[in-house]
Chain A
Amino acid sequence: MNAAIRGTGSSLPETKLTNADFARMLDTSDEWIFVRTGIRERRVLEPEQATSDSATRAAQGALEMAGVAPDELDLIVVATATPDMLVPSTANLVQRNLHIGRPIASFDLNAACSGFLYALETVHSLVAAGRYQRALLIGAETLTRFVDYQDRQVSILFGDAAGAILLEAEEGQGDVLATILKADPGFSDLISIPGGAAARPPSPYTLTQREHFLRMDGRQVFKLAVQSMEQVARDTLERVGWSIEDLDHVVLHQANRRILNAVCERLGIPDSKRPTNLSRVGNTGAASIPLLLDECQRAARFRPGDRILAVAFGAGLTWAGAALRWSIDLPVPA
């Protein structure tokens, strides 16, 4: 048994937060932000909504593309570092929102910005093992609620989004040809939200210390991110016997322009093979890769048979690579 990607979906909130908006709040400018990050604007989820709401919209897009009804699902996994709440899981809430009429399996998985590829390995393995027939895999984040808008280094980077794919069991080669997952917690302090959970429960102290906000040492992360992404890209390609020239598309976690440029330069990936949405949406955590996959699919940039390398990096530190053979065959929109 194997697993094929039958559909993709995504959801971006309508509200935009531009660099000009930041320049009104903080000592910064469009140039300061864009030169450092490559980001012009990000999206902010509507205040009355949470991660499960955007995750549900992304899921509906993937279901519709695949022609699968919610009741046909037997597994939902949400990769997120910014769940609606600690319990129940965001995946449970998506299951509720989809009005699935019987109990199925649903759970969250957290590997920060690498979460989608971690979940891809997990879900693909479960489906390929014949345990589940049709699974939704969603990467969804509401990161704008965890950034400190007094912190001009970090707050400018992140946006809200959700992306989803639908995996279905099939006989044959399958679409997920290799996945490599890595973590090195020796650098766990470089990106963290230290407060608000069991180690440092919410208290007046943790609030005044702003411990419930995301902290990141961007300069230290840069080199580790580039080296890790380059290495896992090479290892993933070696696993499937592809060279860089064999690739049709390289879908990188949209972290920061300097990181992406350095990775692509070292690997020799031309701009024509690296779709990007960083300037429009910023870093959207675990939603980044599935959002970009869905945008490429809907823009008819992906064609059946295309060879795709996906690479992610995030807090943990975690990083991951995946080699995909695209098989969704839909008419090219006029």
Chain B
Amino acid sequence: MEALTERVNVIIGDQLGVERANLVPEANLLDDLGADSLDVVELVMALEEEFGVEVPDEDVETMRTINDIVQYLGSRVEATQ
């Protein structure tokens, strides 16, 4: 899970232009990291590319924090392996 968190953090930092220190598990994408709804979709596209999964719209709505994303990808990536 740590390696996964690291990969997710790199992509989020890159996509949203956020300092590493702010990338804590409970950070909320919209409220804490300054993303808007377009940034979130773009971030999801980058994650899909990195992890080779597809993320339906209804699942995107459940991703509010970094931890939500890590948990989601953890379950999806595990399920496909």
Contacts and interface: CB of A to CB of B under 8 A. Distances in A.
Interface of A: 31-32, 35-36, 218-219, 222-223, 226-227, 258, 261-262, 265-266
Contacts of B41: 222, 258, 262
16 contacts: A31-B54, A32-B54, A35-B56, A36-B48, A219-B42, A219-B46, A219-B49, A222-B41, A222-B42, A223-B39, A223-B42, A226-B38, A258-B45, A262-B37, A262-B38, A262-B41
Interface hub of B41, B49, B55 (most chain A Cβ within 10 A): B41
A102 to B, nearest CB: 52
Contacts of A36: 45, 48, 54
Contacts of A223: 38-39, 42
Interface of B: 37-39, 41-42, 45-46, 48-49, 54-57
A261 B38 contact: no
B38 A222 contact: yes
Contacts of A222: 38, 41-42, 45
A223 B39 CA distance: 8
Nearest to A219: B45
A262 B38 CA distance: 7
A27 B45 CA distance: 18
Contacts of B49: 219
Nearest to B59: A35
A219 B45 CA distance: 7
Given A36-B45, A219-B42, 16 more contacts: A31-B54, A32-B54, A35-B54, A35-B55, A36-B54, A222-B38, A222-B41, A222-B42, A223-B39, A223-B42, A226-B38, A227-B38, A258-B41, A261-B57, A262-B38, A266-B37
